[in-house]
Amino acid sequence: MADLHINFAGIKSPNPFWLASGPPTNSGYQIMKAFDQGWGGAVWKTLGVPVVNVSSRYGAINHRGSRVVGFNNIELITDRRLCDNLREMEEVKKYFPDHAVIASLMVQTKKEWQQIVLDVQNAGADGIELNFGCPHGMCERGMGSAVGQEPEVLETITRWVMEVAKIPVIVKLTPNISDITEPAQAARRAGANAISLINTIQSLVGVDIDKFVTYPVVENHSSNGGY
Ligand SMILES: Cc1cc2nc3c(=O)[nH]c(=O)nc-3n(C[C@H](O)[C@H](O)[C@H](O)COP(=O)(O)O)c2cc1C
Q: Which domains can be identified in the chain, with CATH numbers?
A: 6-214 (3.20.20.70)
- pTM of this prediction? 0.93
Check: CB of residue 15 under 8 Å from CB of residue 40.
Answer: yes
Q: Grade residue 137 by pLDDT with cuts at 50, 70 and 90.
A: confident
**Nearest-atom index, ligand 1, CA of 196:** 19
Q: Grade residue 153 by pLDDT with cuts at 50, 70 and 90.
A: very high
Residue predicted with more confidence, 218 or 123: 123
pLDDT, averaged across the chain: 92
- % of the chain beyond a pLDDT of 70: 96
- Phi, psi of 9, rounded to the nearest 5 degrees: 50, 30
Q: Is 131 in the pocket of ligand 1 (CB under 6 A)?
A: yes
The alpha carbon of 20 and the centre of ligand 1 are apart by a number of angstroms equal to: 6
Averaged pLDDT for residues 59-73 = 86
- What local confidence, expressed as pLDDT, does residue 212 receive? 87
- What local confidence, expressed as pLDDT, does residue 219 receive? 62
139 labelled catalytic = no
Among 104, 173, 199, 201, residue to substitute to test ligand 1 (most atoms within 8 Å of Cβ): 199
